[in-house]
Structure 1
Amino acid sequence: MNYISKVSYFVLTKSIGLYINALSYVFPEKSSKLAYKYFTEPREGRLNRNTIPNILKEAEHEVLQHENETIQTYLWKGNDNKILLVHGWESNASRWELMIPQLRKSGSTVIALDGPAQGLSSGTEFNIPQYAKFVDALIQKFQPQYMIGHSMGGATCLYYQFKYNNPLLQKMVILGAPSEFEILLRNYKKTISLNNRAFQLLKKRFTERFQISPSDFSGKRFASNFNLKGLIAHDVDDDVVAFNEGRQIAEAWKTAQFVETRGLGHSMHDEHLYQKIYAFLFEE
C-alpha cells in the first residue's frame, strides 16, 4: 500500500468511526449493526471462477449446500489419511499452495475450503461460528483425522473442536492464530476510533448473536480441555497476531507442543516448518 493509499484508508476508517459514534447516541441499533458489518465483511479474498490459481485447478471441486450458503471445496485425492486445511481472514484455499505439495508426499488426501464470503463460497460476512459450521459440513462429509488452520482459520479450528468435540480428529496444527477475541475487538475499536458507547453496543451485538460474550471467546480456554494432539506454531515477528497469544494457547493445551519461529511474519510459509508439521502428522 503506497503513501496516498495509506492516508486515504486512514481517513476513511476514522470517518466511519466518527459516523458510528454519532449514531450510537441517536440510533444505537443502527450503530451496532454498522460497526458489526465493517468488522465482519472481508475486503479481500474473493476468487474469480475463470482465473483461479493453478493449485486449485489441480483439485476436484465440489460445492456443498449449508443452510442458505454455498461452500466451495477442493479435494486432492490420496489415501485414507485425510487432512482438512482452514485458511484465515481475507484469504481463500489458495493460501495453502506451498504446503499442499509437501502434505501430498505422504500420500494423504488433502481437503480445503473457501471460508464464508471468501474465495468462491457465498456470503458477505465472515465470523468464526459461521466458519465453524462450514468446517463441520466438510468434516461430516470427508471425516478427516487431521486439521490445519492459519490465523482466523486456526481460531476457527479451536472453536470448532470446543463446540463440536469431534472424536474423529486425532491431530490439529494451529499457525499464527489469535487466542482472545476481546483483543481483536479492541484492536478494531482503536483502528476506527470507536467511542466506549459504540464499542459496548458492538460487544452486546456479538453476545446476542453468538450466545457467548467476547471475553469468553478464548482460544486458550477452548484448548484447555482438548485431548487430541496439537502443534501450535507462532512467529516472534508476527505483526498481525501477537506472539504471546500463540504461547498462551500452547500453555493451556496440555497435549500440544509449541514451535517458535523467527522471520516468517504472519504468513508462516517456510520449508523447515512444513517439515516439522509433516513429522508431527505422519512420523510421531
Structure 2
Amino acid sequence: MNKHLVKTIGSFINFISFLSPYYAAKLAVKIFSTPRKGKLNDDETNYLKSAAQETITYKDVPIKTYCWSGKKDTILLVHGWESNAFRWKDLIKILKSEDYNIIALDAPAHGDSGSKIFNAVLYSECINLVIKQFNPSIVIGHSIGGTASALAINNHELPVKKLVLLGAPSNFDEVIDNYVKIMGYNKKVIKAINDYYLKHFGYFPEFYAIQNFSKNIQAKGLIIHDKKDRIISYKDALHISKYYKNSKLIKTAGFGHGLKNETVYKHILEFLNT
C-alpha cells in the first residue's frame, strides 16, 4: 500500500474506534492478517511440480506440502510472511545433493494453501500438524516461520532434534507495534487490538515472546541473523539467543532479511553435519 492509502485507512479506523472499538480492532487485525503477496506464480508452480505433493487439513484450512525424497534425515522448511515454499529453491538444491529427505509447506493464505487469513498462532498449529505427519528431525524456519516453528515445538513438545532460525523475530508484539506505527493508530485502537487478541487467542500479544515459548524446546538451535536486517532487528536474534540456551548465534553482514546466500547455506550444512 502507498503511504497516502495507509494514512487514509489508519485515519478511518481511528474514527471507527470512537464508535465501536471492537469493530475497529477487527478491521485492524484483518488488515494485519491478510497477505498481499505469497501466492504462487506459474514459474513457482512449475518448479514445485518436481515434488510429491500432499494436502493436509488443519480444521478447515487445507495446507499444501511438498516432498523431495532422500535417504538421510527429514528436514522441514518453513517460510515466512508473504512468501511460499518456492523461496527455498536454492537450499533445496543443496539439501537434495546431500540426499536429505525434504519437506516444505505453504502457510495459510500463502502459496497453494487455503484461507485468506494468516497469523503466527494459526501457522504454529499447522506446523505442528505437518511435523506430526512427516516426523522431521530438523526444522529450518525463516522470519515469522521460524518463530511459529519454535512456538509449535514448545507448545506441543515435539521431538525435533535441530532447529534453525533465520532472521526470526523474538516476539509477536513488536511486529504488531511496527504495524501500529505504520498505520498511525490511536490509543483506543491499540487497546482494542490487545483486547481482541486476548479474546480470540487467550493472551495479549506480548505473551508471544521467546522467554515464554522456549522452555520446552530441547532441539539444538542455530540462529542466523543479518546485522543490517531492515525487517527484523538483529536485537531480536540477541534476545532469542539469551533465552534459547541450547543454541548458537551467527551474525552475518550484507545478506539482508532474506539470507539467501551460499555463506548462510554453508553454516546450515555445517550445523546439520555436527
Unaligned runs of at least 5 residues, structure 2: none
Q: Secondary structure at the match of 1:99?
A: helix
Structure 1 runs (4+) deviating above 2 angstroms are: 50-55, 223-227
8 A Cα contact 1:220 1:250, kept in partner:
no
Are residue 162 (structure 1) and residue 154 (structure 2) matched? yes
Measure, in 1, the Cα distance between the counterparts of 2:49 and 2:165. 26
1:32 corresponds to 2:25: yes
Is the counterpart of residue 222 in structure 1 residue 201 in structure 2?
no
**Which of 58, 63, 69 matches 2:50?**
58
Deviations 1:169-213 (A, max 9, x none): 000000001112121111111101000111110111112211122
- The Cα of 1:65 is off from its aligned counterpart by 2.1
Provide the aligned length of Structure 1 versus Structure 2: 274
Aligned equivalent of 1:77, options 43, 52, 69: 69
TM norm structure 2: 0.96
Matched, 1:87 2:79: yes
- Which residue, 231, 251, 260 being the options, matches 1:240? 231
Amino acid paired to 2:21: P
Structure 1 residues 210-249: Cα deviation after superposition (integer angstroms, max 9, x where no partner) = 1122111102432255322000000011000000101110
Name the SS of the counterpart of 1:78 in structure 2: coil
1:144 to 2:136 alignment: yes
Please give the secondary structure, in 2, of the residue aligned with 1:178. Answer: coil
Q: Is the 8 A contact 2:155 2:216 kept in 1?
A: no
Task: Please say if residues 81 and 144 of structure 1, whose CA atoms lie closer than 8 Å, have aligned partners that are also in contact.
Answer: yes
Match status 1:263 vs 2:263: no
Contact 1:169–1:228 (CA<8 Å) still a contact in 2?
yes
Identity percentage of aligned residues: 35
- Greater shift after overlay, 222-231 or 241-250? 222-231
Using structure 1 for the length normalisation, give the TM-score. 0.93
Which amino acid in structure 2 is aligned with residue 193 of structure 1? G
Query: Alpha carbons of 1:134 and 1:225: their partners in 2 closer, same or farther (altered >3 Å)?
Result: closer
Q: Provide the rounded CA distance (Å) in 1 between the counterparts of 2:62 and 2:45.
A: 20
The CA distance in 2 between the partners of 1:43 and 1:179, in whole Å, is: 23
Quick one: distance in 1 between partners of 2:150 and 2:250?
Answer: 17
CA RMSD between the two structures: 1.4
Per-residue CA distance 1:86-115 (angstroms, 9 max, x = gap): 000000000101111111222111000000
Alignment of 1:210 with 2:201, yes or no, is yes
Aligned-partner residue type, residue 248 of structure 2: Q
SS of 1:223 mapped into structure 2:
coil
User: Paired residue for 1:251?
Assistant: 242
